[in-house]
Chains A and B, each alone.
Chain A
Amino acid sequence: MSSPAILLNGVTKHFGSVEALRGVDFDVQRGEVFGFLGPNGAGKTTAIRVLTGFISLDAGTAQVLGFDVGRESVEIKRHLGFLPDTISFGRGLTGEAFLNHIGRLHGFRGAPPMQRELLDRLELSSSALKRGVKGYSTGMGKKLALVQAMQHDPELLILDEPTESLDPLVRQTLFELFRDLQKRGTTIFMSSHVLADVEEICERVALIRDGRVVRFGPVDDLRVGRVRTMQVTLREATDAFAVEGGRVVERDGRVVRLAVEGDINDVIRGLAGYDIEDVLYERMSLEELFLGYYRGDEGEASADAPEGQYG
């Protein structure tokens, strides 16, 4: 059985007195799209730089594609595509020269195998590639950086905030690309603080806060046990509205908002006793989930978010 694409076990890293990573554990299976979520300063980039060999560990172990990140970093990079959080291409280069330069570092004499396809799909024209990267917009720079990360058809992609600075259309194109890559067997590990992105593309996520993974598991499972909301519009207003499993949190004439904390079936059965015009059941967004963990309420977060894997 092949090793996980990424395996972190008790990874700890200090910068002076600052504990940037505190016993981080999680794994990413081969062929999955994995989201790494957290607010700025939570430890996402530090963890990514550990995986890419830019930062050493103080404690714990980290493996990428079965190789140790400290001792076998070069071997890992033969199979890795990386998009850093800071994108800089160097002075005096055209887009084409930059891509070919990176391609040659990966051992390709000509254009790497996926370069053409990626340029077409991300709509980076030949004329744009002939221009100096200095004149690129932020979005174009991001697209170029994405191409360099993927052009050599790596086994694993580690992408730090891949959708940042991209317009919605390009973002969708990128997600289609990710899905296609996944079908070909590529593992994608992406960090983000754009929750909608992670929700749309990732199968599993790890949520990191203050250097510690506070949640880890399938995106859908993260919502289990969390409060959802239901908006019920009655044909006639009544003060006596009450259903089992749903707590009234807001009442505005005929519109009642319920916090659904128990079994949804109990609520549906309770609603059958009323003359209802409309029901809006809001699936809990990752945004709400995220805020629940990161609102800064330590007590709530630790109570709701036990450390380690679940689901």
Chain B
Amino acid sequence: MVELFRRTMIGQRIGLGAVSLGLFGISVIIVYTFKALGGAAVIADFFELLPEGMKAILHAQGGFATDAEGYLAADYRIPPYLVAISAFVIASTSGAVAREIERGTVLMLLAAPVARWRFLAAKVAALVVGIATLAVSALAGTWVGLMLTGVEGVSMATFALIQVTTFAFAFSIGGIGMLVSSLTSDGGQAMGITTAIVVVMFFVDFLSLLWEPAELLGPLAVFHYYDPLSVSVADALPLADVLVLMTVGIVGTAAAFVVFQRRDITR
């Protein structure tokens, strides 16, 4: 299992490195935008001018903390950030099983005395390490941005908690992706299906915040439970949300183990 994990990490090193660097850069830039907009003095007015749709994306309809911390926390939900995390997780999970079957690499790997569950466990472990790396990269970007700009009043402990929720959010998508990947024999198909699920969930969450009749659907989307701003406001980990996200991830992953153990590898 260690060997498969090592091989998977080597295989994803370039993608993981690129996305980590991207998240690091986004996090640094976000701190700079706080300063560029005029800092805390004008940030409340700036947010008031935002359209409702944008507030919904940021999960900020209840209002903002008008300080740097609130601004930076809310920006962890901006689309580039979400897309970067989702893209890595979707690519990683579709490559875990479906792509290996599509390419035929799984045939030689599983011809070795490696149980299927160990094979998948190595893939899940690599995914977890990848997600953790992304979270740490974003956190490091925020810290470097704060150091470079001199923006004050931001607790790195709070942002560490935000990254815990980011990890849980990404892992929930990972669980869905692993299940889809275990069900299919085509990497492109797995990627397409998982992307479709994630995009639909994003819009379900978005719509539930803007349109009252859709409000009940909100909890069906993992995005509903990813709310960095609320972590900043409460200065505490939203345990219920993290629990839901981790449950989705664990259940999806467990289902993937069951499916992969039983399925035929026919391609």
Contacts and interface: CB of A to CB of B under 8 A. Distances in A.
A90 interface: yes
Give the most central of B10, B11, B113, B266: most A CB within 10 Å. Answer: B113
Interface string B111-138: 1111100000000000000000000000
Contact of B107 (A56, A74, A80, A86): A86
A56 B264 contact: yes
A279 interface: no
B113 A54 contact: no
B4 interface: yes
Given A81-B111, A84-B107, A88-B108, 7 more contacts: A15-B266, A54-B266, A77-B111, A84-B108, A88-B104, A88-B105, A105-B4
A55 B3 CA distance: 24
9 contacts: A54-B107, A55-B265, A80-B111, A87-B108, A90-B105, A92-B10, A102-B112, A105-B113, A105-B114
B200 interface: no
A105 B3 contact: yes
A91 B111 contact: no
A87 B104 contact: yes
Contacts of A74: 113-115
Interface of B: 3-4, 7, 10-11, 103-105, 107-115, 262, 264-267
Nearest to B102: A88
B265 A54 contact: yes
Nearest to B111: A82
A18 to B, nearest CB: 11
Interface string A60-96: 0000000000000111011011101011111110000
Contact of A105 (B109, B264, B267): B109
Given A49-B265, A49-B266, A55-B266, A102 B113 contact: no
B3 A104 contact: yes
B79 to A, nearest CB: 29
Contacts of A81: 111
Interface residues of A, number: 32
A107 B109 CA distance: 13
A89 B7 contact: no
Contacts of A104: 3
Contacts of B266: 15, 49, 54-55
A247 interface: no
B158 to A, nearest CB: 39
B188 to A, nearest CB: 16
Contact of A84 (B111, B114, B264): B111
A86 B112 contact: no
A60 to B, nearest CB: 15
A90 B7 contact: yes
A86 B265 CA distance: 12
Interface in A121-159: 145, 148-149
A79 B29 CA distance: 56
A84 B105 CA distance: 10
Given A104-B3, A105-B4, A145-B108, A88 B103 contact: yes
A52 interface: yes
Contact of A86 (B104, B262, B264): B104
A82 B107 contact: yes
A52 to B, nearest CB: 6
Nearest to A154: B111
